[in-house]
Amino acid sequence: MITKLTEMLTREGVRFEVIPHRSVFTAQERAAACHLSGRMVAKVVVVHDETDDWFGLAVLPAAGYLDVPALRETTGRPRLRLAGEREFARLFPDCDVGAMPPFGRLYGGLDVFLDRALAEAPELICEAGVHNEELRIGMKDYLQIERPDVVPLTARRKAA
């Protein structure tokens, strides 16, 4: 787990667990490596609006697809789109590419949007900045520390 995440959680007095697993690169592989359903493990999707070079984080179930049109409406950003790895790698210099944790406050105060279905779970299992570990934290603690906007984010199926 990346140092600044460990330090923040410790400073906040939050109980957490690090779950080690083999190195994997997709959200569904992460869920399988942890022996969990893709509905129980979160993935972070970076979104970007070139209008003012704004970035945000969408946190949704590993098995879900981001409803980009709904997030555009929620944010009032009609040009919002998925960010490419080259665009967002610079925002998370201490993380393995694609393994960003869902804590925008650690990265310049990025806005964070949490899928409503995930917010109802008792805990959040998410990336910890590296491809071979997950973070398990109580959902109440996550909501209190990060204060994400809780909104419906998941589309029924992948957009064409």
| Residue 156 is assigned to a structural domain of this protein | no
For residue 8, give the H/E element and its range: helix 3-11
| Residue 160 is assigned to a structural domain of this protein | no
| Residue 125 is assigned to a structural domain of this protein | yes
| Residue 158 is assigned to a structural domain of this protein | no
| Residue 155 is assigned to a structural domain of this protein | no
The boundaries of the domain holding residue 141 are 3-147
Domain count for the chain: 1
Q: Three-class SS of residue 153?
A: coil
Please write down the HEC assignment for all residues of 63-126.
CCEECHHHHHHHHCCCCCEECCHHHHHCCCCCCCCCCCCCCHHHHCCCEEEEEHHHHCCCEEEE
- For the chain, residues with pLDDT lower than 70 are 22, 24-29, 31-40, 156-160
The per-residue pLDDT for 84 is 92
Token code pair at residue 17: 């667990």
| Residue 159 is assigned to a structural domain of this protein | no
Give the tens place of pLDDT for each residue, 101-135. 999 999 999 999 999 999 999 999 999 999 889 99
| Residue 157 is assigned to a structural domain of this protein | no
| Residue 152 is assigned to a structural domain of this protein | no
Q: What values do phi and psi take at 144, rounded to 5? A: -70, -40
The CATH code of the domain that includes 51 is: 3.90.960.10
State the pTM of this model: 0.89
The per-residue pLDDT for 160 is 44
The per-residue pLDDT for 124 is 93
